[in-house]
Structure 1
């Protein structure tokens, strides 16, 4: 059976989120066209980029929380109910905080 090292998985995930965030920041830092019509489109694109940046930064926070759980010996334990998150879920989502049961519950 092939087991995944959570530290390596979290490091790889953090690196991917950091690369994504940096690329988005570079795109947001570019200058806009002097054309008003072109600027309008570029500013709409900037709104999308800001949303993508927020997602990447949220991903980095999720990885940091997962690293904290790992250091505390609680990695793989659902923060909702305390049951195991599940190896397959952690393999797919190394920073997963919730088991499938808790993740599928409607948010209040």
Structure 2
């Protein structure tokens, strides 16, 4: 089992970074459009990409938040599907991992 305080710290740092990235994207999307119509077209062209990035970041925020909840509940490191232990190397590589490698491979 990995060192829980270290993993918790890593997850909290990751969560803070994800939230900061999300806030920057929200700021970019909320910027008023340039009065020049040709510039507006260019600015609006980026919105779908930014919205897609925001959706991915929201998913990551959810994964990291759930991992922090599992730490608080004392179930961190247990596969949420089968209950087996998640390999320490997997948790080291992906501290937010909720599935053991066997269950993750089955998806």
Give the aligned partner of residue 76 of structure 1: 77
Could you tell which deviates more after superposition, 71-80 or 24-33?
A: 24-33
RMSD (Å) for aligned C-alpha atoms = 1.9
With CA pairs under 8 Å and 6+ residues apart, which has the higher RCO, 1 or 2?
A: 2
Q: TM-score, normalised by structure 1?
A: 0.84
What's the CA shift for 1:40?
2.9
Alignment of 1:41-80 (within 5 A): 41-80=42-81
- Following TM superposition, by how much is the alpha carbon of 1:50 offset from its aligned partner in structure 2, in angstroms? 0.9
More helix as a share of residues? 2
- Tell me how many residue pairs correspond in the alignment: 105
Which residue of 2 is the match for residue 19 of structure 1? 20
Structure 1, unmatched stretches of 5+, are: none
CA distance in structure 2 between the aligned counterparts of 1:11 and 1:60, rounded to whole angstroms: 10
Judged with a 3 Å threshold, the aligned counterparts in structure 2 of structure 1 residues 3 and 68 are, in CA distance, closer, same or farther, namely closer
- Give the gaps of 5 or more residues in structure 2: none
TM-score, normalised relative to structure 2: 0.84
Find the aligned partners of 1:34 and 1:13 in 2 and give their Cα distance.
37
Deviations 1:5-53 (A, max 9, x none): 1210111110111111011111111122334443333223111111111
